[in-house]
Every structure is written in structure tokens, then in C-alpha cells.
A and B are shown apart, each in its own frame.
Chain A
């Protein structure tokens, strides 16, 4: 079977066709996978309504999807109800960030397909969206958390391709984080609250990140397999 895989998959970038050709090697296999895929649609919802991210690489990707959902919802609100005194450049920056986070969210949803957790309901009652400091402080918290989350969970990703995708996103989150920090306190883009004495950004465990993120979520998220 292995030599056949090399021949059939070696060159194509047409993922679907190649995969189907591979899968087509066994009709029974296709049937088994069809059942497995359909079983996954309710993945992650536990009895009390908490969403579990699941296990393995898909679990980590769902973890990222959960955080991107949270960030996207936050910036959608920021742009829908701008804080008083917002400058035109701040509007421009925050609109860009909203667009990036919405795209990250939509990307994970599309890429995870039937393996994706459901859409989460947020709770931003602790944020005063009309107040600049309240909004930017929350933005800083979300962006800094995003960076520490990707950095801290990277080693759990088994597949190097997924790992690279996480890397592609985390540096954009770090760009956001640096900007937001500078908007709050000029020159604080790499301050000691986030960057240590070795010049390393902080990294955080999944449990610590979710403990913080759940403060902004009505739908709670858990990571029982990690």
C-alpha cells in the first residue's frame, strides 16, 4: 500500500481528489470513514453545556478556534460601538484587527469542517465599550493571551503543517499585541509583563488560558484531554 500512496499523492495539490483516490483503495475504508465523520458533528458538547475542545491536533486547533471566536466577537463589538474619542488611526487599526480576527475565526471553521466546535456565546459585561482604557485594556489582555496560548500549545501539535499554520497566526497576534500595548502606553510593545529577561515572550498552558478566556464566555470551554 505504501508505494501506491507515494505514486498517487506525490505531485497533486488537489487535496480532495488525491485523498479520495487514496481512500478509494478500499471501499470498506470509505464506508467506515463516512460513519466516523458523521458521528463527529456533535463533538465537544458536554451535558452541562460546556464545550470540550477534544483531543490531539484537532483539539489544539479547536482551542485556537475558540480563542479566535472570542477575539473576533470582541473587535466586532469595538467597531460597532466605538469608544468615545477614538481617533481615525485607531479606528483604522482596530478595523484591520477585527478583519484579521474574523478571518482567523472563519479559517478555522472552514478548515476544521465537521470537526469544529460550535459557535461560542460571549460575555463582555465586564468591558465598558464606550471607554478607551477599558476597551484597549481588554484588547491587550486578549492579544497577549493569544500569543501566550499559541506559544504555549505549539509543542502539543503533532503535525508540522498545523504547527506552521499556528506559527503564521501567532506572529500576527504578536503584531496586534505590540500595537495595542503602544496605544495604551507608548513604547510598551515588548515590556516586562510579556517579555522576560532572556528576550522570550511568555507562554501559557491551555488550562491557564481557558481559565482567563472563560471570563469572557457564556459558553464555557474545557480541555479535559490536555
Chain B
């Protein structure tokens, strides 16, 4: 027995199980205009929590909350590459390569702003950003990123991997919503392409243990070697998927690299607020 089958079987005795798991799913299914605030319940993928939430309601974010959160992250990423480009840290040999990423991040900002504003929501303005991670001081731990290209790429990698994890953590809140979920998954995939591309670049520049995918150990999700970003990779060492412990099917490196793990909004904001996002 495993979780896939459990849900399937419970449906036989409780036909409304899916509605319990996603109470307002039906109301938003295939929505093409999300002019009203729509709340969708979702749950972490732990069986106990899953059923606790399924049978007892909890507050969930609206679609606009999710989109504005995504927009916050995109503002940050776009700013990072825009400043990196204008400050000249990217060598000429990599300028076209990195310009692809900057282009996509700026497109994400514009896309999300347009979607939110044209659907009756209000896109948030660009937040106060400190790319040194110093909460407005400009002297944070990554202040050297715009004069040290390898540091620039390391921070970029952490941003991209975190972006992938952040989008993934919101997917459940958009379940059943064809337009918004598909768009979010499509941005999520592009962030993963970027993460892979930056990791390849770092490998080619001498970071010889860096793979295009996140290879965790049994006890540490973070594979960057930079302890300051441990939190960005927390949980990547997970080996249990859908109730199946995959350790019996492959090495830790393979098992952890084969699945990218999500981060909750709270986890992401705890990492960024007071560092890259200025908190006064």
C-alpha cells in the first residue's frame, strides 16, 4: 500500500475526498479569468498533515497572494542580473549566455505584473533590495559579487535553485487552475533551466564538484560548499517520495538529485527578509 493507492481507495468510501483535499477546486477549475480572489486549500505531502488539513479547514493564500509573492522573487532575480550586467562583472565571453537569463527574469516580472493587474489584482511595486544581502547596508556577505564573477555565479545559482523551490512550494495552492498553475509551472521550469545553466558554467570555471542538479548528502541538502546558503537547500536531502523511501532504489546522490524539493513561502521569506529584501 502506498499513498497513491490510499487516496484511490479512500475515494471509494469517501467520494468527496478530493474535495476535502482541495475544497474549492471545482470552483476554480480551468478558470481563465481570475478576477476574484480564489482560495485553494493545499497540503504538505505528509499523510498525517494531509488528512488533518483535509478534514479540518485552514487558511490558504489567494491566487493573487501567490502571484505577488512570485513577483517579489522575480524582482529580486531581475535586479541581480541587471546590476551584474551594468556593473560589468560578466566577462564578454559569457555575456550572451547570461543575457538569456537576464532577459527571462525581466520577462517574468513584466508577465506577472501584467497578469495580476489585468485580472483585477494589484501588482506590488519593486521592494527595497540589497543585493549584498546586507539589509540595506550594502555591505552584506555577498557585497563582492559584482567584482568577483565566481561569487556572482555562486549567488546566482543559489537564487535560481531557491526560485525553483519557491515556485514548487506554491503549486499546491494553484491545483486545478489551468491558466495560473500552467503559467507558474512554466516559469518554474525556466528557473530550473537557468539553475542548470549556471551550474554548468561554474563547473566549467573550476567548481568541479558542481553538477547541473542538486546532489545532496544524507545529512546536508546544500551542495554548493557555501555554508551561508544551507537554508536555501534545507530539505533537499529528502529521500521519501509519495510514501516510498527511495534509498533502496539508488544512492543518496542519485535519489536526492532526481527530485527537487519545495520551500514554503515562510521559509523563503525567512531567508530573504532582512538580507536581500530590506526590512526596516
Asked if A16 is at the interface (CB within 8 A of a chain B CB), the reply is: yes
Instruction: Report if A160-B21 is in contact (Cβ < 8 Å); known contacts: A103-B254, A169-B259.
Output: yes
Please encode chain B, from 177 to 207, with 1 for each CB lying within 8 Å of some chain A CB and 0 for all others: 1100111011111111111110110000000
Binds B, one of A74-82, A124-132, A199-207, A211-219: A199-207
Give the segment of A2-10, A44-52, A133-141 that binds chain B: A2-10
- A51 CB, nearest partner CB in chain B, Å: 18
Mask, B93-127, CB within 8 Å of A = 1, is: 00011001101111110110000000000000000
| 0 or 1 for each of B1-42: is its CB under 8 Å from A? (1 = yes) | 111111111101100001001100100001000000000001
Option from B13, B111, B186, B211 in Cβ contact (under 8 Å) with A151: B186
Is B261 at the interface (CB under 8 A from chain A)? yes
Main secondary structure on chain B at its contact with chain A?
A: helix
A190 near B190 (CB under 8 angstroms)? yes
Chain A residues, Cβ within 8 Å of B250: 99, 102-103, 106
Shortest CB-to-CB span from A192 to chain B, Å, is 10
Contact of A190 with B2 in the complex, beta carbons under 8 Å: no
Given known A-B contacts A110-B2, A155-B30, A172 and B193 have beta carbons under 8 A apart:
no
What chain A residues lie within 8 Å of B48 (beta carbons)?
Answer: 9-13, 18
Q: Which residues of A contact B213 (CB under 8 A)?
A: 96, 100, 172, 175-176
A152-190 vs B, Cβ < 8 Å mask (1 yes, 0 no): 101101111111110111111111111100100011011
Contact-size category for A: 35 or more
Max chain A CB contacts within 10 Å: which of B45, B181, B242?
B242
Q: Is the CB of A99 within 8 A of B254?
A: yes
Is A114 at the interface (CB under 8 A from chain B)?
yes
> In the complex, A99→B1 CA distance in Å?
25
Is there a chain B Cβ closer than 8 Å to A83's Cβ? no
B279 within 8 A of A: no
The reply to whether B5 and A168 contact each other, CB–CB distance below 8 Å, is no
Q: How far is the CA of A22 from the CA of B54 in the complex (A)?
A: 15
**Interchain CB contact under 8 A, B193 and A190:** yes
Whether B178 contacts A165 by the Cβ 8 Å rule is no
Most buried by B among A106, A158, A162, A175: A175
Pairwise interchain contact B190-A113, C-beta atoms closer than 8 A: no
User: A164 with B249: in contact, given A33-B9, A107-B244, A189-B100 (CB under 8 Å)?
Assistant: no
Q: Is A27 an interface residue (CB 8 A)?
A: no
Distance between A194 CB and nearest chain B CB, rounded to angstroms: 8
Interface core residue of B21, B103, B259, B261 (most chain A CB under 10 Å): B259
Could you tell me the distance between the alpha carbons of A194 and B193 in the complex, rounded to whole angstroms? 10
How far apart sit A9 and B56, CA to CA, in the bound complex (Å)? 12
Chain B residue at minimum C-beta to C-beta distance from A186: B97
Counting CB contacts under 8 A, is A145 at the interface? Answer: no
Nearest B residue to A169, CB-CB = B259
Assembled-state Cα–Cα distance A58/B8 (Å): 8
Asked if B137 is at the interface of the complex by the 8 Å CB criterion, the answer is no
Residue of A nearest to B199 (CB): A175
Complex interface: chain A residues within 8 A of B90 (CB): none
With A186-B97, A195-B193 already in contact, 19 other A-B pairs whose C-beta atoms are closer than 8 Å:
A13-B46, A57-B7, A107-B241, A112-B2, A115-B5, A151-B185, A152-B182, A158-B25, A161-B242, A162-B242, A165-B241, A171-B260, A175-B260, A176-B213, A178-B193, A179-B196, A197-B107, A198-B107, A199-B108
A-B contact pairs, 16 of them (CB 8 A): A16-B1, A36-B12, A58-B4, A96-B213, A103-B250, A114-B5, A158-B21, A168-B168, A168-B241, A174-B190, A179-B200, A187-B96, A190-B193, A191-B100, A198-B110, A199-B187
Which B positions have Cβ atoms within 8 angstroms of A?
1-10, 12-13, 18, 21-22, 25, 30, 42-48, 50-52, 55-56, 96-97, 100-101, 103-108, 110-111, 164, 167-168, 171-173, 175-178, 181-183, 185-197, 199-200, 211-213, 241-244, 246, 249-251, 254-255, 257-262
